[in-house]
Chain A
Amino acid sequence: MSKEDLEKRTVYSPEGEPIEIDPLNDYFLDLRPESYAPRNGVIEQFANWARAESLWVLGFGTGCGAIEMRPLMTPRFDAYRFGIQWRPTPRQSSVFVISGYLSVKTLKRVIRSYEQMQNPKFVVALGSCTINGGMYWDSYNTINRLDHYLPVDVYITGCMPRPEALLAGFEELKKRIKAGKGDGANKYADNFDWYKANQKKIIKDWDMPDYNW
């Protein structure tokens, strides 16, 4: 959808009747995200076990690190053995791998995709670029600290981390989820204003709803 498509406009029906269209209000449901309390005791533990053993990764490579995700599907590393599978749509994924540096343009798409994922959702940040900007830290067009914009569950250091490091990172993520610490989605909902302010500070042409389902 281009920027012009989002502007308010008037269209005419075949009978010549004018219809006002305001895409930002008509096409999107911009309710604020909610924070959901975990269920009780054993049920939540069982749910966390299932979430940890079935990690569906959103197939979205944001930076150069995406090249390190591909070998995980090949016979040599074969992440499917560990319950890690790739999903083409954010609606069905539960893990977002931010693979390397994030340009401001990509950050917009990342935020949109992240917000379309369902609670609980987990973010794995790959490479030193997501921690402090790495070799791009004084670039005019990339962000430096990812956790100012999205809640991060696991960082995997390196430039670039090898696929083995990614597998180790996923194992770390599983441990966190099983321990009930994978609460990024609730954290995002609770500190929504802070995250939004940070995002808007860096994205100058904000042409999307504040929260896009």
Chain B
Amino acid sequence: MENIWIKIGYALLTIFIVLNYGLLLQGLFRKIGARVGRRHGIRIWQPWVDIIKNYTFRSRIYHGVMYYLGPVFRLTGGIGLLLFLPVIYGSEMFSNFSFTGDLMLVLYFQFFGVLGMALGAGESGHPYSAIGVSRGLSQVTAFELPLTLGVLAIGLQYHTLNINEIVAAQQGSILNWTFFTNPFAAAAMLLSFLGAMGRSPFDVVLAPQEIPIGPPTEFNSSLLGVLQLNRAIFPVAKLILFMNLLFGGATNWGELIIKTFFIYFWSVFVGIAFPRFRVDQSVRWFLSIPLILGVIAIILIKF
């Protein structure tokens, strides 16, 4: 796979597959949520139509350069995270641009989009955007702690920061998964994963009915369309990251879809069962049980 153009082709194919899978998950999980509420909910293809509709608006409002770049940074964060991950283990085509030490870069990319969006939403000048951004940044900072501790524990466990090698070490049996070999790190990471997905009870950022609807309040038409694309790609990229770190990766797309579906379902399950936290409750919660689990994971690995 020396030719860069073939690599770019496969990268685009990955983005295409992941985008459509992400939209399908969105529709599916909104339908599941509706079924819990005894409704039929949206049609499964609604997310596609919503995006097309947003791109067909005739007028759009700009508030300045940063406002324009905010959604672009956000999408870059999602796509960047996806392309530096080995999506399919052992496949040269779908390993994309992953390299030795990619775990650190991937952690950084998780934060990148949030910061870009913070700048963009700041320029829109809407008070709810500012509230949403401050809420988002405090919550991200809180759940990054247990997440990073868990990731470091995994790095110490396998003596590598290369996701591919971490996946390789988990092959052979289900009992080789980090989920079973390092349960404390897995618990810390899966709890902070709830915050990363931004679903209830940790949906303090968008918080509809409370601060309608946080950072993207002012974003309209195609700018909102870009954000929606990211809302499809970014969660799947995160799912793939957690699948690689905790659940032994995937050797084909079918395995990937089954595993990521159930990881996503974990956040949906919690989200449907619990109402929204306040910001202070959410931050305190991440700094209690998940953080303690993360510290235990590090101590157990070290000694």
**Least CB separation from B211: chain A residue:** A88
A78 sits at the interface (CB 8 A): yes
B172 sits at the interface (CB 8 A): no
Shortest Cβ gap from A57 to chain B (Å) = 13
14 additional A-B pairs beyond A51-B53, A80-B34, beta carbons within 8 Å, are A47-B52, A50-B56, A53-B46, A54-B46, A54-B52, A56-B50, A81-B41, A88-B208, A88-B209, A94-B57, A118-B57, A118-B61, A119-B58, A120-B58
Q: Are A120 and B208 in contact (CB-based, < 8 A)?
A: no
From known contacts A75-B38, A78-B39, A92-B219, infer whether A83 and B49 are also in contact, taking CB-CB under 8 Å. Answer: yes
B302 sits at the interface (CB 8 A): no
User: Would you call the interface of chain B mostly helix, strand, loop, or mixed?
Assistant: loop
Contact of B221 (CB < 8 Å), options: A59, A81, A118, A185:
A118
A194 sits at the interface (CB 8 A): no
Q: Of residues 166 to 186 in B, which have CB atoms within 8 Å of A's CB atoms?
A: none
**Least CB separation from A36: chain B residue:** B58
Q: State the 8 A-B residue pairs at the shortest beta-carbon distance, nearest first.
A: A88-B212, A47-B56, A36-B58, A54-B53, A91-B220, A50-B52, A119-B59, A75-B38
**Least CB separation from A189: chain B residue:** B59
List residues of A whose CB falls within 8 A of some B CB.
34, 36, 46-47, 50-51, 53-54, 56, 59, 74-75, 78, 80-81, 83, 85, 87-89, 91-92, 94, 118-120, 185, 213
Q: Are B212 and A89 in contact (CB-based, < 8 A)?
A: yes
B217 sits at the interface (CB 8 A): yes
Q: Are B57 and A120 in contact (CB-based, < 8 A)?
A: yes
Residues of A within 8 A of B37 (CB): 75
Bound Cα distance from A57 to B57, whole angstroms: 15
B159 sits at the interface (CB 8 A): no
Shortest Cβ gap from A210 to chain B (Å) = 17
**Least CB separation from B208: chain A residue:** A88
Residues of A within 8 A of B224 (CB): 91-92
Q: Of residues 45 to 72 in B, which have CB atoms within 8 Å of A's CB atoms?
A: 46, 49-50, 52-54, 56-61
Q: List 25 A-B contacts (CB under 8 A).
A: A36-B58, A36-B59, A51-B56, A53-B49, A54-B46, A54-B49, A54-B50, A54-B52, A80-B41, A81-B41, A81-B43, A83-B43, A83-B46, A83-B49, A85-B42, A88-B209, A89-B217, A91-B61, A91-B218, A92-B216, A92-B219, A118-B59, A118-B220, A120-B57, A185-B58
From known contacts A36-B59, A94-B53, A118-B57, infer whether A78 and B217 are also in contact, taking CB-CB under 8 Å. Answer: no
Q: Are B40 and A92 in contact (CB-based, < 8 A)?
A: no
Bound Cα distance from A212 to B34, whole angstroms: 37
Shortest Cβ gap from A171 to chain B (Å) = 15
**Least CB separation from A33: chain B residue:** B59
From known contacts A75-B39, A118-B60, A213-B61, infer whether A89 and B213 are also in contact, taking CB-CB under 8 Å. Answer: yes
